[in-house]
Structure 1
Amino acid sequence: MTLLSVLDQTPVIDGHTAADAIAATIELAQLADDLGYTRYWCAEHHGLLAVSNPSPEVMLARLGSVTKRIRIGSGGIMLPYYSAFKVAEQFLMLEALFPNRIDLGVGRAPGGDMRTAQAVAAGVYNRGEIFAEQVTDLVALMNGTLPSDHPAYGVVLQPQVATRPQLWMLGSSDFGGRLAAQLGMRFAFAHFINAHFGHTVGHDYRERFAPGQEAKPYLAAAVFAICADTEEEAIALEKAVDLRRVQMAYGMNLPIPSVIQGQGAAQQYDERERLVIEREKARSVIGTPQTVTERLLELRDRFGADELIVLTVAGSYRARLRSYELLAQAFELGRAPQPRPANPN
């Protein structure tokens, strides 16, 4: 059985508010819990109109209270902004609230532009220069193995609970994979960011892995996918994705395009924009359940992945919910969704 999980960026679709996006995240987490997905991760971003979650740790407290069994976590916390000690405290608090359900995934990207990064970090954003040191500290804090010459040695880490969050390294290059292997951590590769050599990074991670935080390697591939009932609907949804890719190539800070906007833009692209769209298609898997399932299984096998983490950003919240329903059915996750109020968007 293939393990499927969810990565959610809390997207703001054009014509909707951040409050709508946050409500949609809560609804999707409940659905994923009902359907049998393994984990639900929230991503951290700053200063972007298309995504509306700058603080996954706050969102996770809410999601834990409205779900029952699914693991919840960060995909990820952008560690260069923060003290490793403070992040450990936050996620131990979540672990105290929801024992054996918390994942702490960390990354080194800014989750926004450099000017925003400096604002978030009060002008001292370290651009990831000390990221490896921070992750090493985080692992040691969680394990109680800080060296005696560390400034935090002997400081009481609260809350003191018996269980620990599951630690993950996130990455889209060989840097993250090698650091995860060195520290013996779980590793999730962002295929939705880098679609061209993630499988080689994954294989390198397995080969280099030294037991540490985990006894053996564990690899997840994070993939952008949209699953639709019909090919026609899939094409319409893909047009909105195409428009988003063009907007990003121009550096435009805008909400996620709606399906209607995507259809309207499809006939207006110039040659450069069509090249952008074609170049970026490898980062997405969009189609009917059969097409998407076949492609996801190919990626799983190519990566040798233990798990697939699916990111779906569609031009409609209704279509996003339906996509995860169809995937759950196709992969036979084995749970039926509970009745919920219809979301017309």
Structure 2
Amino acid sequence: MPLRLSVLDQSPIAKGRTPADAVGETLELARLCDRLGYTRYWLAEHHSSEALAGSAPEVLIARVAGLTERMRIGSGGVMLPHYSAYKVAENFRMLETLFPGRIDLGVGRAPGSDQRTMRILADGKPNWSSADNYPIQVRDLTAWLHDALPDDHAGHGVVAQPVGASAPDVWLLGSSDDSAALAAHFGLPFCFAHFINPDGGDGVTRAYRAHFRPSALHATPMPLVAMGVMCAETDEEADRLAKSRDVWAMRLRTTGNPGPVPSVEEALEVAKDPRTRTWLASMRRRGVVGSPATVRAALERHAADYQVDEIMVVTICFDFEKRKRSYELLAAEFGLAAS
């Protein structure tokens, strides 16, 4: 089966650009990727970030789905511990009603913000994001989406409207064994974030497959892997463009607040410092950089290692035109069904 490609868009903010510019670029990129033949387009959730503008995926999903025709549109993801599972079910039932058969609901337990912002999101409540509640939230979320709450549940009889003929697909997102184990336990699809954790992901997805419990929703496991990608006409040009992402990612790891995506020129200056070279090299392990042929060969190797037939691509660079070009080159190399 040919490898399918999808998109994770975090709405990155380039230096000198505004958050509104980044959201506009998301809309333009989504229209392009829909024409190019990508399978899914997921929107991320981050809060109080100078680097990533996507704070409300459920709102952006509605706009992106209205601008596109073929792709499944979803969240990558909703950070469930911040919210009521019931309200998330309502939001995504509404989206499914508006765009039936095209909505994915990816959920995760990461905060998508710093500690102070998490407390603000929780309106000062003491149990604002207890991860211990996450498995219960996942259970309740899927039950509300499918009208399957048990009789002894406190919410039994409470309906998540609008009820429709179909429901969004729920995906669990993560970069660890715990998330994969939870997805396997509930019989749900699982997306591994290689672009966050490049170590041991193939073992995580193998364990997910081995421990998957067939559910009323899915009879077989559905693994997916998300990877960073920078594709350009030559390996050398891709390497140069990827320096912006490398420096940005290094700053994220070392300071927690990377700021906007730096220009290539700024990134090249930073890369001259010998103290940064080890960090920058480690950033490359989170994805693939190169010409179309180089990227295709690497993605196909990763797909074989992870035993997946679909890879979700996340591309961050300074120049939006180069970012679009990366997706165009990738689509052409893989022969995606363009419209």
Which of the five TM-score ranges fits, normalised by the shorter chain?
A: over 0.9
1:334 to 304, 324, 337: 337
Partner of 2:80: 79
Cα distance in 1 for partners of 2:82, 2:30 equals 26
Specify which of 316, 319, 323 is matched with residue 319 of structure 2. Answer: 316
The correspondence for 2:197, drawn from 183, 194, 197, is 194
Which whole-Å CA distance do the structure 1 matches of 2:305 and 2:187 have between them? 22
CA distance in 1, matches of 2:257, 2:223: 33
Alignment partners' CA distance in 2, 1:296 and 1:97: 34
Shift of 1:74: 0.3
Partner of 1:175: 178
Deviation at 1:109, TM superposition (A): 0.1
Kindly provide the amino acid, as one letter, of the partner of residue 263 in structure 2. S
The answer on whether the counterparts of 2:250 and 2:283 sit within 8 Å (CA) in structure 1 is no
Cα distance between partner residues in 1 of 2:172 and 2:36: 26
Select 2:262's aligned residue among 229, 247, 257: 257
Query: Identity of aligned pairs, percent?
Result: 46
Aligned to 1:136: 139
1:143, CA displacement in angstroms? 1.8
Deviation by residue 1:10-55 (Cα, 9 ceiling, x = unmatched): 0000010011100100001001110110010001001110000110
Q: How many Å separate the matches in 2 of 1:263 and 1:53?
A: 27
**More deviation, 250-259/283-292:** 250-259
Aligned CA-pair RMSD: 1.2
Q: Deviations over 1:180-212 (max 9, x none)?
A: 111000010000011010110000000101111
The 2-side partners of 1:253 and 1:230 are apart by 28
1:245–1:276 Cα contact (<8 Å) kept? no
Retained in 2: the 8 A contact 1:218–1:306?
A: no
Deviation at 1:158, TM superposition (A): 0.4
Matched, 1:118 2:95: no
Q: Is this contact kept in 1: 2:233–2:291, CA < 8 A? A: yes
State the Cα distance separating 1:69 from its structure 2 match. 1.5
In the alignment, the residues of structure 2 paired with residue 7 and residue 302 of structure 1 have an alpha-carbon distance, to the nearest angstrom, of 21
Instruction: Give the C-alpha shift of residue 146 in structure 1.
Output: 0.6
How much does 1:229 deviate? 1.0
Q: Deviations over 1:152-189 (max 9, x none)?
A: 11012201111110110101001111111110000100
TM-score, normalisation: structure 1: 0.94
What does residue range 1-345 of structure 1 map to in structure 2 within 5 Å? 1-124=2-125, 125-212=128-215, 213-248=217-252, 249-267=254-272, 269-271=273-275, 273-335=276-338
Q: Contact between 2:7 and 2:42, CA under 8 Å: does it hold in 1?
A: yes
Question: 1:265 deviation in Å?
Answer: 2.4
Q: Kindly state the Cα deviation for residue 278 of structure 1 after the two structures are TM-superposed.
A: 2.0
Per the normalisation by structure 2, the TM-score is: 0.96
Amino acid in structure 2 at the alignment position of 1:191? H
Where structure 1 has 5 or more consecutive residues not aligned to the other structure, the ranges are 337-345
Offset at residue 263 of structure 1 (A)? 2.5
2:314 maps to a residue whose letter is L
Distance in 2 separating the partners of 1:289 and 1:251 = 32
Count of residue pairs brought into register by the alignment: 334
Query: For the residues of structure 2 that align with 1:235 and 1:310, how far apart are their CA atoms?
Result: 17
Where does structure 2 lack aligned partners over 5 or more consecutive residues?
A: none
Indicate if the aligned counterparts of 1:236 and 1:262 stay in contact, CA closer than 8 A: no
| One-letter identity of the residue aligned with 1:228 | A
Per-residue Cα deviation, 1:212-270 (whole angstroms, up to 9, x for no partner):
13111111010111101122321211221222133221333411112232233232x24
Asked if 1 retains the 8 angstrom alpha-carbon contact of 2:271 and 2:277, the reply is no
Residue 255 of structure 1 aligns with an amino acid whose one-letter code is P
Q: Compute the displacement of 1:104 (Å).
A: 0.3
Alignment partners' CA distance in 1, 2:235 and 2:101? 40
Distance in 2 between the 1:156 and 1:203 partners? 36
Which residue does the alignment assign to 1:339?
A: none
> What SS class does the counterpart of residue 5 from structure 2 fall into?
strand
